[in-house]
Structure 1
């Protein structure tokens, strides 16, 4: 096992970024815009900015309706984009190029599938040309959705985790036998990754968690 420092749950949940709600609000309006985003803490040194953490995004996961699932995905996009305003115009296409009613229905279906058949089946259903695929949403963001839709206390094993290019590069750099591309991973590859994270957390022992392993990999990216 590589010498990765696995952070505490509090450190994981506290990972956050500053953003301007106006960057996103112009594209996604109520009832799809979660009111909770307007109550996030302001960044006092940066007028117009608020801070969003993993814990804040998890708070959006309690609403299982299509509107709630779109709001959760939006929270994941905001958190995953952070201060990179130049990326917003490209990333909002997930919300503007497909009717949000359709997006919401597919997100509900994917979350339900995850809770019945597991995260690998849900992952595969969101891939291109599959039943729950949403145009312009790739694995880097739909794994964020699955991670947050699993809730703070996920019951499925292995647990859903975020897989993006930074985690993929860290896997390549820290483990033998990994040679992942920056995107386009199969369901089998996703399953291999989340099982590895579960095994590492179990070997480390409490309070290590699979999400802590994911965050450790993110921080260890080359």
Structure 2
């Protein structure tokens, strides 16, 4: 485990959101991370999983079987609530605006992708600054690296799944290589570390 905690000094405001991103291999990885968040988790969880935009998705139902939290596709204009998981729908960018309002966008593809982890992370960085946690899981390509850098630059905390043990190393490796990552963790370490960060800031 590599740890260089950014923005966790005493006196800073508590974390307010957790953002997750994954692509290839992500359903399994997300299920394992989400299963580690107990009922009553004190902040919202927003996530991007690259999905085939040509087909209706059942990702919320699949992840909901593993998670102890409610899991749903995000809807435009709704308020992100603590202890709920919001997933970017297929072919929609998911953004989080001030006050925790979720927005969906049909704007241009980013690195040929919609939804984009970079856009989600950048919106979270802009809205929450040091109160944000971003986590990059398994996936091909480099989506999430620029957004992770944005979170890091605003004082937030960035976690990457260990590329050496990720099913697909591209996304977490790109985040690490960007110099944006505070923790490089085995998959089963991620949920406990996130819980520890959130609970430490709230104490």
Same fold (TM over 0.5): no
TM-score of the pair, normalised by structure 1: 0.30
Q: Which has the higher helix share?
A: 1
Report 1 or 2 for greater relative contact order, CA contacts < 8 Å, sequence distance ≥ 6. 2
Q: Which has the higher strand share?
A: 2
TM-score of the pair, normalised by structure 2: 0.31
Specify the structure having the higher radius of gyration (Cα).
Answer: 1
